[in-house]
Amino acid sequence: MATPSEYNEESIRSLDWKEHIRIRPGMYIGKLGDGSSADDGIYILMKEIFDNAIDEYVMGHGKTIEIKVSDHKVIVRDFGRGIPLGKVIDCVSKINTGGKYDSKAFQKSVGLNGVGTKAVNALSSSFRVESVRDGQIKVAEFERGALIKDHKITKTDEKNGTTITFIPDETIFRNYRFIHEFLENQIWNYSFLNAGLSINYNGKRYFSKDGLLDLLTRETKEEETRYPIIHLKGEDIEIALTHGNQYGEQYYSFVNGQHTTQGGTHLAAFRAAIVKTLREFYKKEFDASDVRQSIVAAISVRVQEPVFESQTKTKLGSAAFEQDGRTINGYINDFLKKELDDYLHKNPTVADALLKRISQSERERKDMAGIKKLANERAKKANLHNKKLRDCRIHLTDANNDKRYETTLFITEGDSASGSITKTRNVETQAVFSLRGKPLNCFSLTKKVVYENEEFNLLQHALDIEEGLESLRFNRIVVATDADVDGMHIRMLLMTFFLQFFPDLVRNNHLYILETPLFRVRDKKQTFYCYTDEERQNAISKLGGKPEITRFKGLGEISPDEFGKFIGEDIRLTPVIMRQDTSISKVLTYYMGKNTPERQTFIIENLRVEKDVVEAEKEELVAEEEAA
């Protein structure tokens, strides 16, 4: 047997397909996660199955897809052609097997590598495939990629198509849960990209008639846009765009029906082509940032054999279109140059409104130039990285580091809380930013306040998001405050800051709330940390007798040793999710604006949360007195 220091024939090991996927899941589905992030592995598993159903629809087979998600089980049923019955087992358990290598069968498909379904199979504790073709059905069942039951082909009255049922393996996806909002956004995107397709998800129908026009209509509100949505369609390209009043740029980009959340060559080409086209149309050399400020846009392209930068297909690499041998840059630029230019000439009112939006952005940028310069100088003098920020070693911008998606910035208030997190954090991937008191309520203020307010200015520099999310240094921004009234207020103030000035940070699922236990229940043998009163009651029942009950009234009361258990592998995070049809201005006006009867009613109805806490503390005191 080879020793650890030896490297010889015995050091070489061959893994079968399912072993390799289970040992190196990141190669196939990106990061694992517990479902609190939209790009966690459990959603990638669902997407891989759903992509196959979509490909059937795109090829003209089946107009309905049915999805059921209950607890941990996922069922996806399409009404396409069904997998050829003699190849059902091979197609879900044999790497590099599938119909998508024949470009004639699957033109411009998203799934080309024959890997996705096999990865779902290997990473599921239970996996079942059913294929119906012309009155016959073939069923096979697997556990963690291993075939456990091969059913014979039998007759059936069911319609043609394929049904996949799977349960993600809890030994790989620890403490996972499906979040409805993430699934719904994913399904809506599929609907917008496949106009005419009917998707039934847990009894609700999702349907789009006008594609990306519907996406932007759902995303924006008419009163918040500066002009009607421009909708342009070509044979392999569809674009929708408008400008609003919000800060930043907002894009939805897709390739062959795949939501490329990290963009890629097609999005870069689109952003450049918009600037070039509008400069030529207005015959003025606008600054690119002025043209794109406050834009809301969506682009979908279809290419043959797209080159993605990873198996999860979230970023498009270089690709060439077959049409006239043009690159994707040339194709998108030529399309916009003709179609957008024609549209603006035919719609002079829209052209005037767009020009006013660009001119406004130009004025705002010039007005802010001096303030930004002073703010940057103040940030340097404040010695940000020593006083306010306890930085980590790895950052989201480290493109070649597998741990970059684990990078986390905890925003906390108070020396004791920040001290506990700082002492116990993972210095590789976890950083801490310390607030000084409550932040300013920046509702209805202009971005000028970001530079004039020291706390906001330093926070912006710590995140490096002044010019957008391209240079964002941390994948997760976690608000870590006490679970009392003051802590909740700080949460609201921070969320207002991000929604007001950096909404893309929230839209792209980077903002979270840290959940820490309210109670510790223990005896001499066991300790339970409880996040709700229900968990506390269950812990008391398990221990029996009269256990010691401690209520944590603030983060500073939790010792560094204990805190390490709450920000490690078992960290509990609640994502701040923005639905596509959410109006930021209305949300902020409701929660952070002047008091209204509706908000007063909301506050009164939710006072029970504080009442529950008070009652729990009373019970704790009684228990302590009885123990004494």
Burial 14-48 (b: 16+ CB within 10 A, else e): eeebbeebbeebeebbbbbbbbbbbbbbbbbbbbb
CB 495 within 8 A of CB 485: no
- How much is the pTM? 0.78
Instruction: Show the domain range for 467.
Output: 382-516+552-593
> From CA 22, how far away is CA 4, in angstroms rounded?
23
Q: For position 114, what pLDDT does the model report?
A: 53
For 311, half-sphere exposure in the C-beta direction (CA atoms, 13 angstrom radius) is 21
Lowest mean pLDDT among 77-81, 318-322, 397-401, 580-584: 318-322
**Same domain, yes or no, for 576 and 456?**
yes
218 and 199, same domain (yes or no): no
Positive or negative torsion for Cα 434, 440, 441, 445: negative
Residue with tokens 């960290």: 571
> Does residue 627 sit within a domain?
no
Q: At what angle do helices 584-592 and 485-501 cross, to 10 degrees?
A: 150
Q: State which of 165, 180, 207 marks the end of a domain.
A: 207
Token pair, residue 175, equals 């403490």
- Residue 442 falls within a domain, yes or no? yes
Neighbours of 243 (CB within 10 A): 24
In a domain? residue 605 = no
- Rg for the chain, CA atoms, rounded: 27
Whether residues 120 and 179 share a domain: the answer is: yes
The predicted model gives 75-91 an average pLDDT of: 93
Burial of 426 (0-12, 13-18, 19+ CB in 10 A): middle
Closest by CA position to 117, among listed 94, 101, 139: 94
* Pair (202, 216) in one structural domain: no
Of 186, 207, 228, the residue at which a domain comes to its end is: 207
**Are residues 264 and 351 both part of a single domain?**
yes
Domain final position from 304, 332, 366: 366
* Span of 60-69, 263-272, 385-394, 459-468 with lowest mean pLDDT: 385-394
pLDDT level of residue 606 (50, 70, 90 thresholds): low
CATH number at residue 353: 3.30.230.10
Nearest-angstrom CA–CA distance, 103 and 91: 17
pLDDT of residue 193 exceeding 60, the answer is: yes
Same domain? For 242 and 203 the reply is no
* Closest among 311, 326, 268, 305 to 41, alpha carbons compared: 311
Q: Are residues 273 and 184 in the same domain?
A: no
So what's the pLDDT on residue 602? 63
Tally of structural domains, the chain: 3
Up-side HSE of residue 522: CA atoms within 13 Å toward CB? 10
Query: Which two three-digit tokens encode residue 401?
Result: 């580091």
Q: Place 112 in a pLDDT band, splitting at 50, 70 and 90.
A: very low
Identify the band that residue 21 occupies on the pLDDT scale cut at 50, 70 and 90.
confident
Of 34, 22, 3, 150, nearest to 88 by C-alpha is 150
Same domain as 149, residue 41? yes
Q: Say whether both 203 and 217 belong to one domain.
A: no
pLDDT for the residue numbered 79: 95
193 and 292 together in one domain: no
Q: How many CB atoms lie under 10 A from the CB of residue 624?
A: 13
> Do 576 and 440 fall within a single domain?
yes
383: tokens are: 């010695």
% helix, strand, coil for the chain, step of 5? 45, 20, 35
Tell whether 96 is covered by a domain: yes
The answer to whether residue 625 sits within a structural domain is: no
DSSP β-bridge partners for residue 253:
299
- The answer as to whether 542 is a domain residue is no
**Sheet with 237-243, edge to edge strand ranges:** 230-233, 237-243, 295-301, 250-255, 258-259
CATH number at residue 164: 3.30.565.10
> Lowest-pLDDT range, 37-51, 187-201, 364-378?
364-378
For tokens 């109670």, what's the residue? 519
Give helix then strand counts, H and E, for the chain: 22, 23
What's the rounded Cα separation, in Å, for the pair 242 and 230? 6
DSSP 9: G
Residue 224 lies in a domain: yes
Q: Which CATH number fits the domain that encloses residue 478?
A: 3.40.50.670
609 pLDDT exceeds 50?
A: no
Distances (CA, A) of 74 to 46, 124, 127, 224, 313: 8, 11, 10, 37, 21
In this structure, the strands spanning 154-155 and 136-143 are antiparallel
H-run or E-run covering 500: helix 485-501
In a domain, 225, yes or no: yes
- Percent of the chain with pLDDT strictly greater than 70: 84
Q: Mark whether 260 and 304 lie in a shared domain.
A: yes
